[in-house]
Amino acid sequence: MKKWNLVVDVAKCFNCNLCAIACSDEYGGNNFPGYAAEMPRLGHRWIDIRQKERGDFPMVDVVYLPVTCNHCDDAPCIKAAKNGAVVKRDDGIVIIVPEKAVGQRQIVDACPYGAVWWNEEKQLPQAWPFDAHLLDGGWKQTRGAQVCPTEAMKSHLLEDADMQAMVRAEGLAVLQPELGCKPRVYYKNFDRYQKAFVGGALAGSIGGVLECIAGVTVVLKRDNRKIGETVTNTFGDFRFDGLDENSGKYSVEIEAPNFGRKVVEFVVESSLYLGTVDLGAAQARA
């Protein structure tokens, strides 16, 4: 049987928030019996755009991660609910049934992703229900996916085997797989959010003038083993991405023609900018 999955490409999300606004528009002031009670106008973010800043000035980037209910196949919220207040549909969607979930605050606490919000006025746990009422009515995409201007967010109705083939082909990842909840929300280019980069710039003195040194090969090493190589750009910048945070000691080795060899050692805790590496004065040609 085909089931719903959501795929978010982290590299294409630029924090426009249109998916979150569409979600608020859909559920704010609207009741969908059996699917969701109305979402409060303030305080809830059923689609929550989280962000992470990486690096140091001037080499900085910001990565955005839309987080919502993962519609887990092994969902702790279902185990915590009483009276069948949270159900897993045959198409993979998890619904917190509003008529049954009143007063069940333990459902909020059971979700390890922080995806369930507590409606104080209604005494009700609430989460994004994958726009199931729309899909049941024939929609092919969720509202968030429909309004996303970069197609960063897309919903897919697939057999599990076909979804797993997509996971392998596109290198998709889920949030905290170690929890074993088996999310149905996947992320593409997830390394941008969870990994670190190291970068720097090369400069040297040519004829007494400090210049950016472009076109120089920079080698990244760990435990004296080469793990990456790049070439400085027009501004003398170099950058390596995809390093594990808190992964220890590394070095970059720079072999610049007319300047000689330079080694910079550093420790990766999170993304870092090594600053300008001064190669000194260019050696005169023989």
Task: Point out which residues bind ligand SF4 (CB under 6 A).
Answer: 8, 13-19, 49, 64, 66, 69-72, 75-77, 94, 111, 113, 115-116, 127, 148, 150, 152-153, 181
Residue 193: phi and psi, rounded to 5, are -95, -40
The least distance separating ligand SF4 from the CB of residue 64, rounded to whole angstroms, comes to 6
- Bridge-based pairing of strands 196-206 and 185-188 is unpaired
The least distance separating ligand SF4 from the CB of residue 218, rounded to whole angstroms, comes to 33
Decide whether 113 or 197 has the Cβ nearer to ligand SF4: 113
Residue 87: phi and psi, rounded to 5, are -125, 150
The least distance separating ligand SF4 from the CB of residue 45, rounded to whole angstroms, comes to 12
The least distance separating ligand SF4 from the CB of residue 75, rounded to whole angstroms, comes to 4
Decide whether 6 or 216 has the Cβ nearer to ligand SF4: 6
The least distance separating ligand SF4 from the CB of residue 6, rounded to whole angstroms, comes to 10
Beta bridge pairs of residue 238:
200
* Contact yes or no for 80/109 (Cβ under 8 A): yes
Cα 2–Cα 179–Cα 189 angle in degrees, nearest 5? 65
Decide whether 30 or 150 has the Cβ nearer to ligand SF4: 150
Decide whether 75 or 243 has the Cβ nearer to ligand SF4: 75
Decide whether 93 or 213 has the Cβ nearer to ligand SF4: 93
Decide whether 96 or 218 has the Cβ nearer to ligand SF4: 96
Rounded Cα–Cα distance for residues 81 and 105 (Å): 9
Q: Note the maximum CA span of the chain.
A: 86
The least distance separating ligand SF4 from the CB of residue 7, rounded to whole angstroms, comes to 11
Phi-psi region of 192 (alpha: psi -120 to 50; beta: other; left: phi over 0): alpha
Q: Where are the beta strands (DSSP E) in 136-259?
A: 153-158, 185-188, 196-206, 209-212, 217-222, 225-231, 237-243, 248-256
